[in-house]
Amino acid sequence: MSHLRLSPTPRRRTALRCALVVAPLAVGLTACGSGNPLAATPRDASAKVSFASAGGGKADPDKPLEVSVKGGTRITDVTATDAAGRYIRGELSADGKRWNSTAALAAGAHYTVRVSTEDSAGHPGRKVLGFDTTAASTGLHVAFGPDAGTYGVGQPITAELSAPVKDHAARAVVESNLKVTSAPEAGAGSWYWVDDRTLHYRPQSYWPTNAKIEASSSLDGVRVQDRLYGAADKPLTVHTGDRIEALTDAGTDQMTFKDNGKVVKTIPITTGKPGFDTRNGIKVVLEKQAFVQMKSESIGIAAGSSDSYDLPVYWATRVTWSGEYVHAAPWSEGSQGYANVSHGCTGMSTDNAHWFFDHVRQGDIVQVVGSQGDTMAPFDNGFGDWNLSWDQWKKGSALGGSAATAAKSPADPADTPASAPARLRPQTA
């Protein structure tokens, strides 16, 4: 809300100049002290000032605050602040008779309004009013993810909304009240609207190593749309560890494991055979399971077919919800480093899989190149966020332009929505 003041009237300026011209300086100052109406203590202007939205109990935050004056009185200044001292924008009519807020009031908030006036004789007046706005009937909550802890530098920050937000302007309100910071600083970052309830946040490049990342919402009481207001929610703090990157080359059947840019280990591997090609692209470690019973039925392969399997698998690191893992595959050690014979997973020896399992955490990067498979979709099969260029990513923000839906890979019968219970998610071998 603007803090507006009107200049003194021409009549008062003329009177002041005359007093100073016709008398010595000391006399002139005395004349100003005793005769200038602006020097007088402001009178109580309660009888002249009315509040259209603030009288009679709590005010409706969906309606603008209106201030008006009667008779020969005019408004010279209005300030309206909430309990935190934040101003509400407003505008004053040309004749000084009316003022109204031009920004939405917050729900469940307390405001103090200070109105300065002047009567026809130039005498100042003052009216101060405190009022509350009604609480929101429904609140929009934000749940940040992942859980507090330490993650790899590829882990996106997520925000799940308790109600859908479809309107672009409403999305901009939500997004402008969601804040993500990191120390050390991560540089440019942005939210992406995955759908009406889900946002992902990532910087232009991976997070800094050993960083503290904080996500918070200032939506409490903020009007989002219609009768929907933001609610208070807990902030999130997570940390990053080292920059771990596992580069899987399906063309050479080798994995190069890097820690903070330094090659630590090169591991012979096998990836998906023709018809079950491993997806290319940047993937993020989703979870680790020391043991998984992998069954071909979970990816649509009928029991008894030539490609069916039912295998005990150890040291399994999941990178897609549709069933891609990095895991121990002792049955294919003869092909590891030479040929691709799996059903989509990255297989390696038991010792190497155990070592890999122990050296990665959720959020670490596993990138696949050289495969004949499609590129991993950005959002429907885990965290493929980094497969969008920075320009593509920014288009998903409601603040930087119209939100764009990222293109998805062709439908895969093995794909399962990320919201499916973990025990029902498929596995490949």
What is the set of active-site residues? 327, 345
- Chain-centre distance for alpha carbon 405: 17
Q: How far apart are CA 281 and CA 377, in angstroms?
A: 9
Biggest CA pair distance of the chain: 113
Amino acid (1-letter code) at residue 190: S
For every residue of 193-241, DSSP letters joined together read E-SSSEEEEEESSPPPTT-EEEEEE--BT-EEETTEEE-----EEEEE-
Q: How far apart are CA 49 and CA 113, in angstroms?
A: 12
Q: Give CA torsion, residues 365, 351, 381, 263, to 10 deg.
A: 20
Q: How far apart are CA 340 and CA 121, in angstroms?
A: 94
* Coil vs helix vs strand at 275: coil
Q: 317 with 324: CB under 8 angstroms?
A: no
Q: How far apart are CA 277 and CA 375, in angstroms?
A: 11
